[in-house]
Structure 1
Amino acid sequence: MECFKTMDAVASIDKAIDVLFYLHGSSSDCGVTSIARGLEIPKSSVHRLLAALVRGGLVDRTQTGQYRPGVGLLALGLGVLDREPVVEAGHRVLEEFAQRWGETLFLVAARGGDLRVLDKVEGQGFLRAAPRIGSSVPVHATAVGKLYLAFSDESVAVAMENGREAFTRATLTESMALHREIQEIRDLGVAWNREEWISGLFVVAAPIHGPGQMRAAVAMALPASRLPELGEELLATEIRLAAQQISERVSGVRRGSTAMEKHNDD
């Protein structure tokens, strides 16, 4: 009997998680019927799950009886970020470069086999690009994804063998073309997304290294219309500089410092 109770509890947790992700992915508030239909769960079960999530502050119920993600999720999310050394080390750098260039900067890292946005700082330009913090990004169609294919042993490399969706006409879906670009990335130390995921969006990214491995990637997203003004060489230089500064912070080493200086600082 205890075994069945445990199985029921696990199933309920799984469904509650599905509800949270459904609300997160929705562009507007949701009703019980739409959630039940979207997840193929009985309405009575959705009612019960939502009631528990509302009590926990993870879901908010509006005056019209609709549901949306609750502020409790924000608290949980911030708790996760507080434990991310890359975010702690890199946020100030993102702010500096976003202010300097007026464009959006991202920190992305491999988590659970996916590439997840860990932090994001928007500039003053018109671009307010997706993805949001916590969202996943495709591997083959993004600059950070190609960096991971070039420099990391993380499991995201399975994208080389799995089906690759063509998000735009520019998306690289052929293995040979992707392999050639990955080799170029290894030579140059930076990666580009030239409207391969979202039309009109250019992204340049560089790897953030910690002791012995690639820890994350920093990326700058900008509208394609700004590329002729700035030029790829300048953007590549700037993103390398941002990655270097974050890498030094992650490793606890100042530029030009020696091991003895680091010891003395301690």
Structure 2
Amino acid sequence: MAERARPVSVAGKVMAILNAFAQDDVRLNLSEICRRAGLPLATGHRLVGELAAGGFLERVPDGTYRIGTRLWRIGSQAPAVTGLRELALPHMEDLYEATHDNVQLAVLRDDRVLVVERLRGTRSVPVVTQVGATLPLHTTGVGKVLLAFAPPEYRERVLAAGLERHAARTITDADEMRRCLEQVRRSGYALTRDEMTLGASSVGAPVRDGTGEVVAALSLVARTRSADLRRLLPPLTTAARALSRDVAQHWRGHPETFSTERKAGA
């Protein structure tokens, strides 16, 4: 891999630091931030400190950093995110009340899943995913849905890049993943079991716009031992269809609203 060119301007350095969090982990230590951003440790320490003081990054008790609430509030004002979240929240709340499991709403972003809203189930499996975090496509219910219904050339590019193992049951073979995604397209839902985190399973369903294109995915994340499709799938698909109707109705008057995220994955 070619060595990352060091950013020269202050703005470039700040952007490199923030972009370090878009690659993978929700939390990074200072050394990892500097390595990903291509910055000397002293420079990174100063800029990360300033970003944390301003609320753009947050330092957690273990000494690592994560995206701050101020940066998320700014990013969440993007029309594609704001419009989708506002339409989705009532349906997500109904879905939570029906299942008391974790509910997630996600879109495609830079070959990964971007979580744009999440409701945490207090009696469900603990999850570390935060709003604004990115996750792998091939290990999550929402990711498999988005990948299954993405354009074929995009799907093949993601598969060709390799499928990293995150847990014992992660699918890392491209042909096996192709078969899995074909099943998702046929059934209309995706299921994962211990593929991202041991003990956690998810089931995801597509959210469509006014043209029938899949613009987002809705999922439930539950403990593997209680992840019964007979319990989870009916309320999930009901919520996803209801949200799709709302998105389609909104799309008729504002067709540009949800186009940004779709194009980001294409």
Instruction: Give the TM-score category using the shorter length.
Output: 0.7 to 0.9
Relative to structure 1, the CA distance from residue 19 to residue 85 in structure 2 (aligned partners, 3 Å threshold; closer, same or farther) is same
Contact 2:137 2:144 in 1 (8 A): yes
Instruction: Name 2:190's counterpart in structure 1.
Output: 191
Structure ranking higher on relative contact order (CA contacts 8 Å, 6+ apart): 2
Distance in structure 1 (CA, Å) of the matches to 2:58 and 2:178: 46
- SS at 1:84 equivalent: helix
- SS at 1:198 equivalent: coil
Relative to structure 1, the CA distance from residue 102 to residue 36 in structure 2 (aligned partners, 3 Å threshold; closer, same or farther) is same
Given residue 167 of structure 2, which amino acid in structure 1 is its aligned partner? T
Equivalent of 2:241 in 244, 250, 258: 244
Distance in structure 2 (CA, Å) of the matches to 1:36 and 1:105: 33
Distance in structure 2 (CA, Å) of the matches to 1:188 and 1:116: 23
Alpha-carbon offset, residue 107 of structure 1: 0.4
Contact 2:218 2:236 in 1 (8 A): yes
The structure with more radius of gyration? 1
- The residue correspondences of 1:16-55 to structure 2 (distance < 5 A) are 16-20=14-18, 41-46=39-44, 48-50=46-48, 53=51
Compare the two structures and name the one with the higher helix fraction. Answer: 1
Equivalent of 1:124 in 117, 122, 125: 122
Larger CA deviation: 135-144 vs 216-225:
135-144
Relative to structure 1, the CA distance from residue 14 to residue 202 in structure 2 (aligned partners, 3 Å threshold; closer, same or farther) is same
Alpha-carbon offset, residue 118 of structure 1: 0.8
Instruction: Name 1:209's counterpart in structure 2.
Output: 208
Given residue 239 of structure 1, which amino acid in structure 2 is its aligned partner? L
Alpha-carbon offset, residue 83 of structure 1: 4.7
Instruction: Name 2:111's counterpart in structure 1.
Output: 113
Distance in structure 2 (CA, Å) of the matches to 1:203 and 1:209: 20
The number of aligned residues is 239
Relative to structure 1, the CA distance from residue 205 to residue 153 in structure 2 (aligned partners, 3 Å threshold; closer, same or farther) is same
Larger CA deviation: 183-192 vs 122-131:
122-131
Distance in structure 2 (CA, Å) of the matches to 1:161 and 1:99: 40
Contact 1:140 1:159 in 2 (8 A): no
Equivalent of 2:98 in 97, 100, 104: 100
Instruction: Name 1:219's counterpart in structure 2.
Output: 219
RMSD: 3.3
- SS at 2:164 equivalent: coil
**TM-score of the two chains, using structure 2 as the length reference:** 0.75
Relative to structure 1, the CA distance from residue 127 to residue 80 in structure 2 (aligned partners, 3 Å threshold; closer, same or farther) is farther
Alpha-carbon offset, residue 216 of structure 1: 0.3
Relative to structure 1, the CA distance from residue 54 to residue 223 in structure 2 (aligned partners, 3 Å threshold; closer, same or farther) is closer
Contact 2:139 2:196 in 1 (8 A): yes
Contact 1:104 1:120 in 2 (8 A): yes
Distance in structure 2 (CA, Å) of the matches to 1:192 and 1:236: 10
Given residue 243 of structure 1, which amino acid in structure 2 is its aligned partner? A
Relative to structure 1, the CA distance from residue 192 to residue 50 in structure 2 (aligned partners, 3 Å threshold; closer, same or farther) is closer
Unaligned runs of 5+ in 2: 1-6, 253-266
Contact 2:125 2:200 in 1 (8 A): no
Larger CA deviation: 184-193 vs 137-146:
137-146
Aligned residues with identical type, % of pairs: 23
Alpha-carbon offset, residue 197 of structure 1: 1.2
Instruction: Name 1:91's counterpart in structure 2.
Output: 89
Given residue 225 of structure 1, which amino acid in structure 2 is its aligned partner? R
Distance in structure 2 (CA, Å) of the matches to 1:56 and 1:153: 40
Contact 2:111 2:158 in 1 (8 A): no
**TM-score of the two chains, using structure 1 as the length reference:** 0.75
Instruction: Name 2:3's counterpart in structure 1.
Output: none
